[in-house]
Every structure is written in C-alpha cells, then in structure tokens.
C-alpha cells in the first residue's frame, strides 16, 4: 500500500460512523468491494476523499470501494443547471442553512441532507468489464432490490429518467401510476473509474424540492422510504436495509453476474433514448 493510500485509509478510519453506528462492516480482499462508512460528513470533505481514492484506484493502488455517508443540507448544481431550475436565489438557499455548491458532474440541481443515504462508488469499469449504462443499471437494480427486500416497497430501476422509482402496477404488470422517485444517480467517469454516485431518500425532508426542479420533475414525484411506509415508521436502516444493500451491490458488480431486476425500461414505456454518458447524470 502506498503512503497516499495508507493516509487515505487513516482518514476513513478517523470518522465516527453515524449512519452505520454499531455495524461490523466486512473488509476482505476477496469481496473486491469495500464499504467505507463515514457517518455524517460535509459534502466537500467526501468529494476530497473520493477524488483521492479515485486517483489511487486508477493507479492500481487500491481496490474498488463504496463510500457510505450522509451530508448536512447542501444543494449541488451540475453542469446542466439552468437559471430557471432554481425557484429562489443562492442567498435565499443559504439563509435557510442549505449550502449551494457548483459541481462538475452532469445534470442539474440535486439536494442532499440529513436522512438521505449517500453512496459513492469508486469502481474500475475497465476491470469489471462494464459499460457506463450497465453499471448504472446494475447499481439502480441493487438499490431497488434492497428497498423491496427490506421494506416491501415496489421499487424499480429506470434509465429514462434515470433513478429508482416507486411504481404501482396491476396484476397484469400494467402501470397504475408513473410513480415517485426514491433514489437518484449523478455520475462521472474519470480514467475508467466511477466518480460521484447515488442517493437514497430514507427519511429526509421533501420541503427543499419545492424550490428547485430536479430533472424537471414536480415535487409530487419525489418520495422517501418513511413516506412510503406511512410517515411514522422508525427506520431500522442498520438492521434491515444496509446489510442487504451491500450484498446486492456486491452481487450486481460481480463479473458476468446478471442483475435481478430485469431489463430497464423508460418510465413512459417509450424506447430508451440512451441519455446517459460518462459526463451525464440522472438527476
């Protein structure tokens, strides 16, 4: 292990887990996918860590990893953010205690905050023999499978618009309603290694979504696990969701392993237009 990677590991271990308090996270070479659970950490700190880890991964100094955390309230603006995507000024956002940060991923604005689970994979697509769309679908399918298994939420991975959606169907499989978005993706590829990642709405506030247009979607199309469970449920994330999610992600990223959620389809049932590319986002 290089000195840079050893220092990075020290940085990981210096954080006290909050999201995963009390969990015993396996870190074995045979897994080929390590989970670094940082708890509640600022967006800027995690960006610094992921970039350094990404450089180490591209140089072959470490294996694949996923950073797991949650953030204090922050609004990130992707490279495709338009002025009319925000319904109030930066000053008004920050007056509410929500930091606004410009980022170099594709896509538009995205909100992150307490109660939302952040997943930042640092995965070599070259070594895994995966394309970008394949990686995105495998990741979304893993999240959807974990949500269904842990909470019995009818979640489905969708590529257009990209994300995990709660979709109600009848017994014949026909759409009853187009659904609500419960997990998002914002991705960039650097040197064959994934950067940025995914977020899952567990019990975060939906109020910030009233003041910006995530992927041009109205607030009514965003949801959380807590909302799906009836609003008052206490989420035992550590016991039910995270261990299942880790296993689903390990399985989904394994070479040649098929995903379990079937072929991804656009929410509208139109043919997929191939909108994801190395610099784009599903926000």
Task: With cut-offs at 50, 70 and 90, classify the pLDDT of residue 13.
Answer: very low
Asked whether the predicted pLDDT for residue 265 surpasses 70, the reply is no
Asked whether the predicted pLDDT for residue 4 surpasses 50, the reply is no
Q: To which residue do tokens 């995903």 refer?
A: 259
* Helix locations, 203-241, DSSP H: 225-228
Q: Which residue has the higher pLDDT, 209 or 264?
A: 209
215 is a catalytic site residue: yes
**pLDDT value at residue 220:** 54
Q: b vs e for 241-267, b when ≥16 Cβ sit within 10 Å of the residue's Cβ?
A: bbbbbbebbbbbbeeeeebebeebeeb
Q: Please tell me the distance from the alpha carbon of residue 174 to that of residue 50, in angstroms, as a whole number.
A: 40
Query: Is the link from the previous residue into 130 a cis peptide, with omega within 30 of 0?
Result: no
Among 10-19, 234-243, 250-259, the range scoring the smallest mean pLDDT is: 10-19
Question: If you average pLDDT over residues 105-124, what whole number do you get?
Answer: 94
Percent of the chain surpassing pLDDT 90: 59
What's the chain's average pLDDT? 79
**Annotated domain spans of the chain:** 69-253
Q: Which residue, among 200, 168, 167, has the nearest Cα to 182 in the 3D structure? A: 200
**pLDDT value at residue 28:** 42
**What number does CATH give the domain 69-253?**
3.30.930.10
**pLDDT value at residue 24:** 41
How many Cβ atoms sit within 10 Å of the Cβ of residue 21?
11
Q: Which residue has the higher pLDDT, 5 or 31?
A: 31
- Per DSSP, the three-state class of 208 is helix
Question: If you average pLDDT over residues 6-24, what whole number do you get?
Answer: 43
Question: pLDDT tens for residues 38-48?
Answer: 999 999 999 99
pTM over 0.85: no
* Helix locations, the chain, DSSP H: 3-14, 43-58, 90-95, 125-128, 132-151, 225-228, 242-253
Q: Of 37, 62, 184, 215, which is the active-site residue?
A: 215
133 token code pair? 């769309």
């Amino acid at each position: 292990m290089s000195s840079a990677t050893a220092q990075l590991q020290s940085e990981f271990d210096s954080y006290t887990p909050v999201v995963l308090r009390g969990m015993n996270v396996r870190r074995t070479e045979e897994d080929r996918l390590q989970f670094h659970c940082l708890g509640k950490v600022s967006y800027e700190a995690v960006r610094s860590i992921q970039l350094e880890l990404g450089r180490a991964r591209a140089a072959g100094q470490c294996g694949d990893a996923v950073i797991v955390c949650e953030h204090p309230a922050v609004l990130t603006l992707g490279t495709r953010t338009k002025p009319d995507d925000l319904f109030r000024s930066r000053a008004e956002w920050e007056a509410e205690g929500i930091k606004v940060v410009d980022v170099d991923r594709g896509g538009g604005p995205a909100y992150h905050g307490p109660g939302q689970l952040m997943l930042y994979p640092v995965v070599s697509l070259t070594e895994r023999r995966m394309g970008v769309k394949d990686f995105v679908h495998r990741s979304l399918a893993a999240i959807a499978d974990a949500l269904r298994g842990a909470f019995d939420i009818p979640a489905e991975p969708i590529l257009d618009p990209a994300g995990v959606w709660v979709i109600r169907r009848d017994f014949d499989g026909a759409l009853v309603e187009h659904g609500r978005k419960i997990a998002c993706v914002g991705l960039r590829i650097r040197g064959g290694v994934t950067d940025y990642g995914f977020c899952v709405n567990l019990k975060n506030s939906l109020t910030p979504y009233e003041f910006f247009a995530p992927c041009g979607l109205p607030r009514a199309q965003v949801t959380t696990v807590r909302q799906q469970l009836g609003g008052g449920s206490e989420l035992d994330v550590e016991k039910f969701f995270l261990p299942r999610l880790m296993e689903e992600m390990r399985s989904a990223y394994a070479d040649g392993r098929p995903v379990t959620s079937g072929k991804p389809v656009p929410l509208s049932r139109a043919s997929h237009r191939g909108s994801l590319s190395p610099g784009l986002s599903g926000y």
